[in-house]
Amino acid sequence: MVFIGLILTMVMGALDQSIVSTALPTIVSDLGGLAHMSWVVTAFMLTSTIATPLYGRLSDMFGRRPLLAFSIGSFLCASLLCGMAQGMWELILFRGLQGVGAGGLMTLSQTVVGDMVTPRQRGRYQGLFTGAFAVSSVTGPFLGGVLTSALSWRWVFLVNLPVGLLALALVMFSLPAHRAEARPRIDYPGAALLSVATAGFLLLFNALGTSLPWTSPLTFLLLGFTMVLFVLFIGQERRAPEPLINLGLLRIVEFSVCVAATGIMSFAMMGSMIFLPLYYQLVLGETPAASGLMMLPQVGTMMVSSVLGGYVSSRTQRYALLLAIGVGIEFSSLTLIAVCAHHGAPALFFLLSLGCLGLGMGIGMPNATVMIQNAVPSGALGIATAMMSFIRSLGGALGVALSGGVMALTLQNRLQALPQKIDVSGFLQKGMAAIQTLSPAMHAQVTQAYKGAISASLSVSSSFMFLAFMMIVGLMVRKARSAK
């Protein structure tokens, strides 16, 4: 019963990260504001990133069940508000509130699994979780397209309600209560410093290249300010009796390398996946439902490889090798997707590349989680998993922000260079609705501009995935040398 509740909780969290992407073009057409489209994702990831380490530390203090209940309940309330939003900035605000609840969904689910099973069996169970994550995260675009076409984009948020209520009932009924610490000491200064520093860092990256020039004095001022806040946060964590983040864990090489690689992998994946449905609809001319359906090859391969990969890792205990294989496949697949987007390849090439991408994700993701959890003492399991989720969420948010900035800047430059001048700011505001009013010749030129802009953002993701691959290979070499 606990496991079913945790699976549903993870499904809800993963589904919400992906189901919105297919509906974004329709949301923009309805509410306006293409230039702010990435904020719908960034606001969610910003607040969920900030909340993640808080959930990890507080769950160590007060137990998993009350924090899971709060996480699910606040997520459902915000989902209802998102489904009722009447403007783009209103939707962005409610997405931020939704992220507060989402910060604990996957983190606490993975932590409870770590509590319940032995280290040797974690690969198998995390593989099952990855399979559920695969189905929900990659079928999300398809489900989002179907709901948007058949009903309304508002149902991509309202669909969370039945799933979340069932998960909440199962968690409250079956998960044992944990005795809270007698006098828990919460690191309020650390929480405040981390929240402000993370928010400033993500907002800075989201504005770079669009509303904030890369080389402006304000850019360097904001960057310096956030860096100072992070330094102050690290100093606070060294002094705090009960720190939010256990800096001592970073001395464990396997833990620190895997956490950093996980963040970079999330950077690459979120930076690419959020713009693929947009490419399918704007460049290939697919409907929202069809663009979601084109993500299905990733579902099948990721679901199969995650379950089989979890079984193989539990049998062989070769976590680092399997992680390196998975990340290498992901890098190759993202490179193929970027090449396909650049050359305007037919849909079949995207489907094959996405199938390979799902294969790599299914092999890599569960092994990264197992390596991180097995590298730390059992008493630090909650904060270690929260640190992994924090870095992963931070990487994903930065990936969306930076890739969105690269896409917006490239698109703006390409539109301004067109022979026939158009109102670029007005055009970006209306999105797909503006494209549909163009003449056939102008439509073809604008489509080429979008193709170049989105392929540029995909190339950024591919480059960062290669960096993650090299980090894992370096860890394997280090372990091989130490074994000798």
Residue 181 lies in a domain: no
Scan for tokens 């770079």, then name that residue: 208
Residue 223 lies in a domain: yes
Residues 6 or more apart from 226 whose CB is under 8 A from it?
197, 200, 201, 204
- For the chain, the farthest-separated pair of C-alpha atoms sits apart, in whole angstroms, at 71
Q: How confident is the model at residue 155 (pLDDT cuts 50, 70, 90)?
A: confident
Contact status, residue 59 vs residue 432, Cβ threshold 8 Å: no
Residues 6 or more apart from 188 whose CB is under 8 A from it?
none
In angstroms, the CA 458 to CA 341 distance is 8
In angstroms, the CA 24 to CA 124 distance is 35
Mean pLDDT, residues 39-57: 75
Contact status, residue 96 vs residue 4, Cβ threshold 8 Å: no
Tell me, what's the pLDDT at 38? 65
Q: How confident is the model at residue 27 (pLDDT cuts 50, 70, 90)?
A: confident
Tell me, what's the pLDDT at 304? 77
Residue 182 lies in a domain: no
Give the pLDDT confidence of 287-311 residue by residue, as tens digits.
766 776 777 787 778 777 777 777 7
Give the pLDDT confidence of 100-147 residue by residue, as tens digits.
888 777 777 777 776 676 666 655 666 666 666 666 666 666 677 777
Q: Smallest Cα–Cα separation from 464: which of 321, 269, 274? A: 269
Distances (CA, A) of 311 to 48, 124, 283, 308, 318: 31, 5, 40, 5, 11
Give the pLDDT confidence of 371-426 residue by residue, as tens digits.
777 777 766 666 777 777 777 777 776 777 777 777 777 777 777 777 776 665 55
Inform me whether the pLDDT recorded for 2 exceeds 70. yes
Q: What percent of the chain stands above pLDDT 90?
A: 0
Q: How confident is the model at residue 366 (pLDDT cuts 50, 70, 90)?
A: confident
Q: Smallest Cα–Cα separation from 354: which of 458, 471, 448? A: 458
Please give the residue that has the higher pLDDT: either 235 or 21.
235
Tell me, what's the pLDDT at 125? 66
Tell me, what's the pLDDT at 32? 63
In angstroms, the CA 268 to CA 331 distance is 9
Q: How confident is the model at residue 365 (pLDDT cuts 50, 70, 90)?
A: confident
Residue 101 lies in a domain: yes
Distances (CA, A) of 64 to 59, 70, 134, 181: 5, 10, 24, 13
Residues 6 or more apart from 160 whose CB is under 8 A from it?
12, 15, 16, 75, 76, 79
| Number of structural domains found in the chain | 1
Residue 183 lies in a domain: no
Question: How many residues are given for the chain?
Answer: 484
Residue 203 lies in a domain: yes
In angstroms, the CA 210 to CA 356 distance is 33
Please give the residue that has the higher pLDDT: either 74 or 219.
74
- Report helix angle 381-416 to 37-62, nearest 10: 170
User: 0.85 cut: is pTM over it?
Assistant: no
Tell me, what's the pLDDT at 134? 62
Inform me whether the pLDDT recorded for 182 exceeds 70. no
In angstroms, the CA 153 to CA 353 distance is 28
In angstroms, the CA 290 to CA 481 distance is 50
Give the pLDDT confidence of 211-240 residue by residue, as tens digits.
666 677 777 888 888 888 888 888 887 877
Domain that holds residue 107: 2-176+188-483
Residue 406 lies in a domain: yes
Give the CATH number, domain containing residue 444.
1.20.1250.20
Mean pLDDT, residues 352-364: 83
- Amino acid present at 159: V
Instruction: List, as one string, the DSSP characters of 205-271.
Output: HHHBTTTB-TT-HHHHHHHHHHHHHHHHHHHHHHH-SS-SS-GGGGGSHHHHHHHHHHHHHHHHHHH
Give the pLDDT confidence of 434-484 residue by residue, as tens digits.
666 667 777 777 778 778 888 888 888 888 888 888 888 888 888 777 766
Tell me, what's the pLDDT at 436? 64
Q: How confident is the model at residue 168 (pLDDT cuts 50, 70, 90)?
A: confident
Q: Which of 169-178, 201-210, 431-440 has the highest mean pLDDT?
A: 169-178
Inform me whether the pLDDT recorded for 331 exceeds 60. yes
Tell me, what's the pLDDT at 362? 77
Tell me, what's the pLDDT at 411? 76
Residue 69 lies in a domain: yes
